[in-house]
Amino acid sequence: MKRNARLTVYLSVLTAQAMVLNWVEGLIPMPLPVPGARLGLANIVTLIAAYTLPWPSVLLIVAARTILGSFLFSGLSTLLYSLSAGLVSAAVMLLARRLMKGDGRSILAVSLVGAIVHNLTQLTVAALVLENIRVFMAYLPWLLLLAIPAGLFVGGAGRLLLRYVDRLHLDF
């Protein structure tokens, strides 16, 4: 029971942090050639989760934060995009982390993969919803390039944060 309570609290804290980061990010103007492009600060939380929790819990946090976030902040019209991209990129990050064994394991690389897959998923869903393949091709280069600085930033932040999270000796 005690372990269960600890897990519940940890999951809740991560979910709340991701939602707040997402909201704060929306307040920062991004003067970029691609309107709507974002840094993906909430992915810091997904990254931390992927390094400290079993995979079902990671996906649970992503689902919870996107669904609750869409009710509170962004509206239901964006849920399809944030939920699909969040879940797919989290799954691929978990996979990437597993594939990179031993001393080759890099949180920066995992974060980069996550950012790229997040953008690819969102763009694919958008092209499918709009039934317009040209949308995919027009935004693909920019979203791939923008995923690089975003993924590195999120990965760097995740690496700094993980040092402190590791000291908690969470063992879920």
Alpha-carbon distance of 11 to 6, in angstroms, equals 9
Q: Which is nearer to other proteins, 57 or 84 (CB)?
A: 84
Considering the complex, what minimum distance in angstroms separates the CB of residue 15 from other proteins? 22
38 contact partners, CB below 8 Å, separation of at least 6: 25, 26, 30, 150
Stretch that binds other proteins, among 7-15, 44-52, 69-77, 161-169 (CB under 8 A): 69-77
Residue 60 or 138 having the CB closest to other proteins: 138
- Name the region of 101 (left: φ>0; alpha: ψ -120 to 50; beta: rest): beta
Which segment (13-21, 43-51, 53-61, 105-113) binds other proteins by CB under 8 A?
105-113
Of 67, 91, 108, 165, which lies in the binding site for other proteins, with binding defined by CB under 8 A?
108
Question: Is residue 27 a contact residue for other proteins (CB under 8 A)?
Answer: no
Does 109 participate in binding other proteins (rule CB under 8 A)?
yes
Measured from the CB of residue 63, what is the shortest distance to other proteins in angstroms?
21
**Residue range at the interface with other proteins (CB under 8 A); choices 2-10, 41-49, 60-68, 104-112:** 104-112
Residue 164, CB-side half-sphere exposure with 13 Å CA sphere: 4
Residue 117 contacts by C-beta under 8 Å, 6 or more apart in sequence?
85, 88, 89, 92, 93
Q: At what angle do helices 42-52 and 107-130 cross, to 10 degrees?
A: 120
Quickly list H helices, 39-170.
42-52, 55-69, 79-99, 107-130, 133-167
Contact between 145 and other proteins per CB under 8 A: yes
Stretch that binds other proteins, among 3-11, 43-51, 134-142, 164-172 (CB under 8 A): 134-142
